[in-house]
Amino acid sequence: MCRLLGYIGETIVLDYILTKPEHSLIEQSYQPREMTAGLLNADGFGIGWYHPEKDIEPFTYKNILPIWSDANLPHLCRYIESNCLVATVRSATTGQAVDLSNSQPFTHQNLLFSHNGFIEKFRKSLYRPIRNQLNDEVYQAINGTTDSEHIFALIINELQAKIDITLENALYKTLINLKKLAQKYQVDFAANLLLSDGKRLVACRSASRSPVPSLYWLRDDPNFPNAVIIASEPLFEGNWNSLAENSIIIVGEDLDIQIDRI
């Protein structure tokens, strides 16, 4: 299991949310509190962020080393500013390579995406069925071997199939599709997903079995006014809300929050 973090709101320096909180992603990498599988998140990390003023594609910084051992990260985080970011620390599923092609967040045009979860026996179960559903462009764009990137490919496929579809509708359709595939091939999955286009933040908490991985959200904390944070585990003491199981949370451009059942 990985640990996810999403932020949207007022422009901040990245270290304010990535390194300074008492239970930051750095601490969650070696001392997570709510992991349902695994003990550490030491198989690399990644950060994706948007320029706070220019409407351009997002930037990413990734490493296959544990986040606590990256000497460059503190300096980058004190320099970079953003109003929207997606970050993760990784615990690789057994059998999946620890390399940059498998490191999250994944990107496609203006999208950032991260996944905490798994597809049971992915290479032997849903690898081929998922790829069979993809259009050629999306199929060819897959660089790695993870179940995470293939779930992202399903979302992109939905977005390309209908021009005016929203992020949350594409996410909803993907989750329904994934559930049907899992039932057909009799495998379990967990899919806590985090998706952004730089203007909106969409996430879900979903799994075919219990326990469902944890996911929390927080709005307008005194330390982060005019902002929404979504995280696998609370970063600090505050009025965190646990997202209900099998739900989608949508954060709009004006930071309005909508929660829908899957």
Q: List the catalytic residues.
A: 2
Nearest Cα to Cα of residue 217 among 196, 232, 195: 232
HSE-CB of 168 using CA atoms within 13 angstroms:
18
User: Could you please report the per-residue DSSP string of 70-81?
Assistant: -SSHHHHHHH-E
Is the Cα dihedral 98, 195, 260, 133 positive or negative? negative
Long-range interactions of 80-83: CB distance < 8 A, separation 24+: 80/13, 80/14, 80/49, 81/11, 81/12, 81/13, 81/14, 81/52, 82/7, 82/11, 82/12, 82/14, 82/49, 82/50, 82/51, 82/52, 83/8, 83/9, 83/10, 83/11, 83/12, 83/50, 83/52
Is the Cα dihedral 35, 242, 177, 197 positive or negative? negative
Q: How far apart are CA 41 and CA 103, in angstroms?
A: 12
Query: Which token pair is 108?
Result: 């496609």
